[in-house]
Structure 1
Amino acid sequence: MTDRVNPASDALGGKLLGGKLVAGDERSEAGEPRAGKRMHRLPPLNLFRVFDAAARHGSFTTAADELCVTQSAVSQQIRQLEDLLDVRLFRRLPRRVELTREGNSLASAVSESLSLLARACDRIADPKAPAVLCVNALPSIASRWLVPRLKRFMQLNPQVKVTLLASSDPVDFDRQDIDVAIRWGRGPWPDVHAEPLGRDRFFPVCSPTLLREGPAILRPHDLSRHTLLQAANSSLWAAWFSAAGVGSISFEETLFFNDAGVMLDAAVQGQGIALASHLLVEHDLKTGRLVRPFEAAISTEDGFHVLTSPAFSEKPVVAEFRRWIRQEAAMAF
């Protein structure tokens, strides 16, 4: 035979013991009611601020003066904290208040916690403290253009600690913990402050070994005897051949890539001819890893852009990085 549960007590989540309703989570393992309440949530932080002031001064009136509130407001908030914790924190004496044993125990913990928070806030607000800058860039420009230059930025700004993330995911400054993003396109990017890095140029590149040892490349039409390294969803080769005065031609082989950096790595290894952004191959051209078989180049409406949140684009460390990267791009072009 099963026990019948009083509907009223069941609706409240407890049982009747000796005519008194006891909450289900306030019973001991032996079935007896537990003393006190079980806290599931931290009381509001402001209650601890009021409690700390009252504990330090031993007076609700003096605490009220410090907090710029009324003595009644302090008394009510202390009572609210006592109700939430189900303990007496102060003994109310005729001209002062005095901490109880429980109050003393809480006062030291609250004082230490508030001091820790204050020191953390001071460190964050200190203009001399190290600043952290998170830059999220496309893998291609991150590895081939930005990394060789970042050391220069850090030397100019030793107080800034840079974190570089390589990603092609959509940018959402409200959801992602990033300060600056570098993306390819022409925009517009909704709710984003966007600045072009400059008008980029595209031209064919290959490894010096392929140029020296492969089928001769004397005129643009000779490129057809080599493997074409092609960025997926790009029609720039057709535009370049048109600018070079060559009609449509067929290549022996074509390799497609979804990442420009990987495509250029293939070109460095002598796998074929790639049509490259000047920004992405500037370092490779200077070091001789890649060469330009022809000087003809084209420009496009698309380009690399520096994206920042409109709300934080003028934050000192972000504004300094924007200024620096624009200057670096200007020197590259």
Structure 2
Amino acid sequence: MTKPPDEPLLSDAAALVSEAVAPRVAPSDPRPLRRAARLPPLNLFRVFDAAARNGNFTTAAEELCVTQSAVSQQIRQLEELLEVRLFRRMPRRVELTREGTALASAVGESMALLVRACERIADPKAPVVLCVNAPPAIASRWLVSRLKRFMQLHPQFKVTLLASNDPVDFDRQDIDVAIRWGHGDWPNARIELLAPDRLFPVCSPALLREGPPLLVPSDIIRHTLLQVVNGSFWGAWFGAAGAGGLAFDETLYFNDAGLMLDAAVQGQGVALASRLLAESDLKAGRLVRPFDLEIETGAGFHVLTSPDFSEKPAVAEFRRWIGFEGRESA
């Protein structure tokens, strides 16, 4: 789950610290300006900030839940790295030196910037960008028309939709929710069935009017069969219809189910489709079902989320919403 970027805040914080720790050279000094080769560990600045605000190593240690000696050692380490003295040690307190005062100002501003950035990220009322990844066919034919309704129900959530069939890896990809077709065996993901894969023939109304009649299932073989290249269930459908063993005269193959349905809409043949993919075309009358027989493939569209973040508010709400939409369509 992603938020609107806070990079300006974080870069400003780093710039403030870098400017404070960079050696200062008088304008008349002919030597080139030298930047610090390496920024000291950030935790040292956190300890320094606590010591500078409290004016006492013991009080700073109590605030940070560490020992006084740990604070003293880390301040000494920071001084050695910067090659300057940051505090004057008094009997019961410490005072900032001139260099320490300059650094304390920059570190204080930087810490405030970081706190504000963290508050914005953790604020439940802040806009949240949800990244959803789905195959092109289901994205364009089913999901796009519904996303506006989701964002109207949840105006604090903004959705970015990516169309892809690539393998999903939540640890490596900036994806909050993925939709994939299969048998539900994806590793390292929380998997929920969106809709089972019940397939039935669809074709253009013009094909019924102008082509050979479709009175019984076996009549389909007189038309071009449309199917995807990674597997076809035509044989299973004909078997369920009692017309197994037929020879197909002409077949067109597609690498995407959406393209296959586009061809069916254009009257190029008869396709097997699921309700989710064909729903919009059936409602608009671009496709019709010549036969009511459906078969189940044992597969279906599934919603995938990261096991670590599936209960985050935006992800959990999207899971509930899309599950309801899937049930309504099925």
- 1:251 Cα shift? 3.5
Partner in structure 2 of residue 221 of structure 1: 218
State the secondary structure of the residue aligned to 2:308: coil
Partner in structure 2 of residue 59 of structure 1: 56
State the secondary structure of the residue aligned to 2:298: coil
Query: Are residues 1:150 and 2:135 paired?
Result: no
Partner in structure 2 of residue 201 of structure 1: 198
- 1:115 Cα shift? 0.8
Identity of aligned residues (%): 75
CA RMSD of aligned residues (A): 2.1
| Alignment TM-score, normalising by the size of structure 2 | 0.84
Partner in structure 1 of residue 284 of structure 2: 287
- 1:36 Cα shift? 11
Code of the residue aligned with 1:318 in structure 2: it is V
Code of the residue aligned with 1:107 in structure 2: it is A
State the secondary structure of the residue aligned to 1:300: strand
Distance 1:60 1:277 in 2: 69
Q: Which consecutive residues of structure 2, in runs of 5 or more, have no partner in the other structure?
A: 1-30
- 1:43 Cα shift? 1.7
TM-superposition CA deviations, 1:210-236 (whole Å, max 9, x none): 222233322222222222111113230
- 1:88 Cα shift? 1.9
Partner in structure 2 of residue 140 of structure 1: 137
Partner in structure 2 of residue 306 of structure 1: 303
Distance 1:77 1:112 in 2: 21
Distance 1:128 1:261 in 2: 37
Partner in structure 2 of residue 257 of structure 1: 254
Which of 275, 299, 318 matches 1:321?
318
Partner in structure 1 of residue 69 of structure 2: 72
TM-superposition CA deviations, 1:166-208 (whole Å, max 9, x none): 1111111111111111111113222221111232311111122
Partner in structure 2 of residue 177 of structure 1: 174
TM-superposition CA deviations, 1:137-181 (whole Å, max 9, x none): 111111111111111111111111111111111111111111111
Distance 1:196 1:65 in 2: 51
Code of the residue aligned with 1:192 in structure 2: it is A
Partner in structure 2 of residue 125 of structure 1: 122
Q: Which consecutive residues of structure 1, in runs of 5 or more, have no partner in the other structure?
A: 1-33
Distance 2:191 2:71 in 1: 49
Structure with the greater relative contact order (CA < 8 A, sep ≥ 6): 1 or 2? 2
Distance 1:280 1:289 in 2: 13
Partner in structure 1 of residue 95 of structure 2: 98
User: For this pair of structures, how many residues does the alignment match?
Assistant: 300
The answer to whether the 8 A contact 1:53-1:63 is kept is yes
The answer to whether the 8 A contact 1:36-1:86 is kept is no
Query: Are residues 1:234 and 2:242 paired?
Result: no
Distance 2:62 2:191 in 1: 49
State the secondary structure of the residue aligned to 2:261: helix
Code of the residue aligned with 2:95 in structure 1: it is E
Distance 1:305 1:177 in 2: 19
Code of the residue aligned with 2:146 in structure 1: it is R
Distance 1:37 1:284 in 2: 67
Partner in structure 1 of residue 81 of structure 2: 84
Change (3 A) 1:36 1:287: closer
State the secondary structure of the residue aligned to 2:323: helix
Code of the residue aligned with 1:43 in structure 2: it is P
State the secondary structure of the residue aligned to 1:91: strand
Change (3 A) 1:62 1:239: same
| Alignment TM-score, normalising by the size of structure 1 | 0.84
Which of 28, 31, 41 matches 1:44?
41
Change (3 A) 1:36 1:144: closer
